Chain A
Amino acid sequence: MPEIYMDHAATSPLSEEVLAAMKPYFSRKFGNASSLHAFGRGAKEALDASRQQVASALGCLPEEIVFTSGGTESDNLAIKGACLANRHKGNHIITSKIEHPAVLATCKYLEKQGFSVTYLPVTSDGFVRQQAVEAAITDKTILITIMHANNEIGTVQPISKIGEIAKERGALFHTDAVQTVGKIKTDVNELGVGMLSLSAHKFCGPKGVGALFVKKGVRLEPLLHGGEHERQMRSGTENVAGIVGLAHALALSQMGMEKEATRQMKLRDRLIEGVLSSIPESRLHGSRENRLPNNANFGFKYIEGEGLLLMLDSKGVAASTGSACSSTKLEPSHVLLALGLPPEDAHGSLRLTLGKSNTENQVERLLRVLPPIINKLRKMSPMRAGVTWNGKEEGHG
């Protein structure tokens, strides 16, 4: 049975070309970029060239790129770094309720350190409203952090509009662009951001490497102290092979990006239309128009996502769910709850995220295997339209 991978928002396969570009830096070109000898210079050259590639993809200066260990570190550095460096100016942070845990947990941590955080609500499509940002800003606001596109529901935020507000009010603006870099346009000037996080493995680069764009003049308190690498913002010997891989993968994703986005969008729209028309009591989560080209997220009433995931897996389809029971936490997805879904409906969600490898045939195959699975799970479920549940609550002691 052919394996169908539709979980590219979780991670994407490292492309062979990228792997080939990385290989020499594990062995032959193993130098430390801080060394003055030829080995070191070789590594430094690769590092400089990579920084240049990333800068040109984002429309910024090479010295505005800080390489990190991935999206989580980039988010942590941006948020903690900016807040700690600017605490003399204020203590207020604005974010949204649907951010990635790397942002939300960092904000929660800062609350414990005496910062105050506003978690903005979103519309039922998952949009942060500009008026809500305007209303939340105070003289004490030092940082606004709103993700470019949501990792679960794919809604793309009006970042440039929020950027204008931030600029007007003199607050620093960060965006987590982990899901958008390499998929849609992410020019930092167009977006109007002061900081932007990205992660290589989301665009067919290696895991364990990411970057943070930090606009010239923005001061950050480092998280890692040591040899003062990366303009003193991130100490530690650079992961040269990883950085070469990141830059190479990003450059590849920029080539023909629009064409690939259009192709994936067509597949996505077929998925959406096919699922909604063939499965009763199903719905699309997130915006129909302003969503990532590769994201489809569905809700199916009366079932739970984990079972759905496992049954798809047994049919050779790898997908994801925002269901509580799929992970180590017991709450359903904070994103779906923020859309206003009742918790009982937030359990039966399915996220399909496309990538380069996905074809029309695979989409049609998915559309054939999914309805019988939903049917099977629903037949097994005691819930259906019109049933009110009055069972005893057990097992939650």
Chain B
Amino acid sequence: MADVYSKKVMEHFYHPKNTGEMKKPDAVGEVGNPVCGDVMKLYIKVKDGKIADIRFQTMGCAAAIATSSMVTELAKGKTLLEAKKITRQDVADALSGLPPIKMHCSNLSAAALHAAIDNYLMDNEKKASKKKE
């Protein structure tokens, strides 16, 4: 099994970065479906338009956990605009590739990141329009 995955994937699976629930996040992104066995929750804290802190919780196979860990590493410190450009391919590449069957179901992390950023921007818009009223 371990042979199926790159060394990088196994590193991030055994020692994932930025795991656990975040207290008072600025936004959360949730993707996946428990029925399929892969779900991910990603928390962000934003400061000056940049991702100041990021954490994740994932239920899924080794690939799902490794991609979650990797996306938090890739996004940390980036501006929201830069972070939104991170694709699932970027995540896979940073892990030296994923088995083809894991490219989709288990590679949710970029989508979770985008969802968190979208939620953050939407919340801000709402707050801004409330201020105008």
Q: Does A344 count as interface, using CB distance less than 8 angstroms?
A: yes
Q: Does A168 count as interface, using CB distance less than 8 angstroms?
A: no
B: contact size bracket: 35 or more
Alpha-carbon separation in the docked complex, A296 to B20 (Å): 31
A306-B34 contact in complex given A323-B61, A395-B111, C-beta closer than 8 Å: no
Closest beta carbon of chain B to A292's beta carbon, Å: 24
Q: Does B95 count as interface, using CB distance less than 8 angstroms?
A: no
Which residues of chain B are near A381, meaning CB under 8 Å? 39, 57-59
Which residues of chain B are near A324, meaning CB under 8 Å? 36-37
A302-B59 contact in complex given A310-B2, A325-B106, A394-B111, C-beta closer than 8 Å: yes
Q: Does B16 count as interface, using CB distance less than 8 angstroms?
A: yes
Which residues of chain B are near A389, meaning CB under 8 Å? 30, 32-34, 39
> Quick check: B32 and A394 within 8 Å, CB to CB?
yes
Closest to A343 in B: B35
Alpha-carbon separation in the docked complex, A193 to B40 (Å): 49
A395-B108 contact in complex given A313-B1, A323-B61, A380-B19, C-beta closer than 8 Å: yes
Alpha-carbon separation in the docked complex, A209 to B60 (Å): 37
Q: Which of A22-69 contact B (CB under 8 A)?
A: none
Q: Does B115 count as interface, using CB distance less than 8 angstroms?
A: yes
Closest beta carbon of chain B to A381's beta carbon, Å: 4
Alpha-carbon separation in the docked complex, A311 to B16 (Å): 13
> Quick check: A396 and B36 within 8 Å, CB to CB?
yes
Closest beta carbon of chain B to A385's beta carbon, Å: 13
A391-B37 contact in complex given A304-B64, A383-B59, C-beta closer than 8 Å: no
Which residues of chain B are near A390, meaning CB under 8 Å? 30
> Quick check: B31 and A392 within 8 Å, CB to CB?
yes
Alpha-carbon separation in the docked complex, A286 to B30 (Å): 34
A347-B62 contact in complex given A309-B1, A392-B31, A392-B111, C-beta closer than 8 Å: no
Q: Which residues in A have some Cβ–Cβ distance to B below 8 Å? A: 302-304, 306-307, 309-311, 313-314, 323-326, 328, 330, 332, 342-344, 347, 379-383, 389-397
Q: Which residues in B have some Cβ–Cβ distance to A below 8 Å? A: 1-2, 10, 13-14, 16, 19-20, 30-41, 57-65, 88, 101-102, 104-108, 111-112, 115
5 extra interface residue pairs, beta carbon distance < 8 Å, beyond A382-B40, A391-B33, A393-B32: A302-B59, A306-B1, A306-B61, A325-B106, A380-B16
